[in-house]
Chains A and B, each alone.
Chain A
Amino acid sequence: MKSKLSWFSVPYVIWMAIVVVVPILIMAVYSVTTAEGALTGENFVGMGDYAGVFLRSFRLAIIATLVCLLIGYPVSYWMAKEGLRFQRVAMALIMLPMWMNFLLRTYSWMSILENHGLLNQFFQKVGIIGLYNSLTGQSIEYFTMLRTPGAVVLGMVYNYLPFMILPIYSVILKLDVSLLEAAQDLGASGAQVFRKVILPLSLPGVLSGVTMVFVPSVSTFAISRLLGGGTQMMLGDLIEQQFLGGAYNPHLGAAISMVMMVIVVVCMAVMNHFGEGEEQAVML
């Protein structure tokens, strides 16, 4: 049985080798060589210039992940507690935007957040801008929302929230009801049941949700370019420029990618280490 299974896994292993391992190796080689093919450490040394971009990327990704968690956990919990029909409808609503193209959705946000976009027009109509002006004594025509860090975070949260909700929801849904009853039986009030049983047992879902939101957030380039409008350059943009943009330097791009990958892998490893015990427990 075991040998049969491993036989079936051969195509998968080959595929993974071609599309994952080989590209990473190529990147690694690129990152330590010059255009002429000579070995060099310069690509890494020069990276200090981009510390600001690194910081911004991680800061915005962390904020987006936290916001996703703060919204996602209660939503997942609430969904899992409701009836089956509610769950289906809620699930459909969460998945629905994902059926539309990612760029299209992000472009839509641009036209919503623009200076004369939908949202500002709305604020104008209902008099919020007038109210703001009379309160602060300023005379603005619109709120600047596009091309701000906030817009980038909004874009990340909007796009990646389902990846936070789904894993948490499925973990909470699978929680054995008798565990919650047992906790009550042993004297735990509603809040204590949540803190002592539900929360620790749903940590694996939180961990995978955090991973699935943080990793794409930290490496995004489309969201930061479209909603940040060039003012909010992130690692993804920086790397893209090295490969496809004006600053053509694939060797530097590869080096930045490698550093980013190492930081992300280390972050994930640390987090998973904390969650390890819980993970094991839920496997039971």
Chain B
Amino acid sequence: MSKELIRLAGCTMAFDDEIVLNKIELSIQDKEFLTLLGPSGCGKSTTLRIIGGFLSPTSGDVLFDGNRINDVPPYKRMVNTVFQRYALFPHLNVFENVAFGLRMGETVIEEQDGKQVRRKVKIPEEEIQSRVMEMLEIVNLGGFEKRRINQLSGGQQQRVAIARALVNRPKVLLLDEPLGALDLKLRKDMQNELKRIQKAMEITFVYVTHDQEEALAMSDTIVVMDKGSIQQVGTPEDIYNEPKNAFVADFIGESNIIDGIMRADGVVEIFNRKFQCLDGGFAKDEAVDVVIRPEDVDIVPVDQGQLKGTVTSVTFKGMQYDIIVDFYGFKWLIQTTDLCPVGSTIGIKIDPDGIHVMKKSRYSGMFGDYSSYSEEYDEINESQEGWDDEK
């Protein structure tokens, strides 16, 4: 049974009159890999900075092991951060960068008169030496200790940043989009590397990213955020398969989101046709959002299809074709390995487990229509390039 390590209780953060975080409730378990996922400006970095101690919430409490730590300054917290752009000290070499935290001494928490007192204890030089060398080995940087920071590649700097944080043996490691500056190949390698380190060190990682693939690949728990609120918390499978609202469905992977009416448990009506589904518990004739993932649509001959539509665009993506199909004026994205030429009419079939029904939310009608597919595609690319726009 895992135990709770950090709790954010009703944390609100406001800068001037702008509310950046709105009463968020979040529980982080010991030794888990938790990812805060969301678009730029959703409040994920702010949440991380609150845990790190760089911001104090306007209202609400931050609890660490059950103790309130709102007013504990960053240098006395048992968390360390890997910063977005590494923030390595340019005037120190690799060894001294990693040793920085150890030279500042170790924080010890003592009970005194029933109150917690945090004290710094000096670490002997031999221990600093051995811990730094050991950590450099762990991040595969043995032999680099005398190098200057500007002599390192982006990936190596990333490793130094991770070593510099981990050498202090924090209870929690906070990572703020740490892989954003790396190229795709290196990013994939580092994802595995981070996961390996997290397993080996047995500590909690709180990871901030806007990259849903990264989140799905690495996390034990994903927290999807938007506009300062938590939209959904769950395992990667939960989040992908059972999105709670249109925002989550759209943000995690590609989704066609269609208006539907729940006729009965297990029966949803789309485009005036009844479909079998696995969802239930809705009121009779309740208006709902229906999510259909592009890969869950089977293309069949027109006469066997549950719906028929016209292909309006085809994009070759290597593993599959992304085709846009017009169904009665509503455009769907379908991923298929069969080539369907533009202008052809196709039939589709959707299995009951490919249909996911969600309650209407404030996000209804905002996502999931591929009428302007190319625009949305650009947006996705932009948000990946624009990782550094967010402070």
Contact = CB atoms under 8 A, between A and B. Distances in A.
Interface of A: 176, 178-179, 181-189, 192, 196-197, 200-201, 277-278, 280-284
B52 A185 contact: yes
B150 interface: yes
Contact of A184 (B75, B106, B150): B75
Contacts of B105: 187
B23 interface: no
Nearest to B76: A187
B148 to A, nearest CB: 7
Nearest to B174: A185
A99 B298 CA distance: 78
B40 interface: no
A284 B150 contact: yes
A277 B87 contact: no
Contact of B90 (A181, A192, A196, A201): A201
Contacts of A281: 90-91, 148-150
B90 A189 contact: no
A263 to B, nearest CB: 29
Interface stretch (B78-86, B139-147, B201-209, B378-386): B78-86
A62 to B, nearest CB: 26
B84 A187 contact: no
Interface of B: 52-54, 73-76, 79-81, 83-85, 87-91, 100-101, 104-107, 120, 148-150, 164-165, 168
A184 B74 contact: yes
Contacts of A188: 75, 100, 104
B89 A197 contact: yes
A264 B73 CA distance: 46
Chain B CB count within 10 A is highest, among A181, A186, A196, A277, for: A186
B91 A185 contact: no
Given A280-B150, A281-B150, A186 B101 contact: yes
Nearest to A184: B74
A201 B91 contact: yes
A187 B168 contact: yes
A115 B164 CA distance: 62
Nearest to A180: B87
A187 B107 contact: yes
Given A187-B75, A187-B101, A192-B104, A182 B150 contact: no
A185 B54 CA distance: 9
5 contacts: A178-B84, A188-B104, A197-B91, A201-B90, A281-B150
A284 B90 contact: yes
Contacts of A189: 75
B64 to A, nearest CB: 15
Contacts of B100: 183, 186, 188, 196
Contacts of A183: 89, 100
Given A189-B75, A192-B104, A284-B149, A181 B164 contact: no
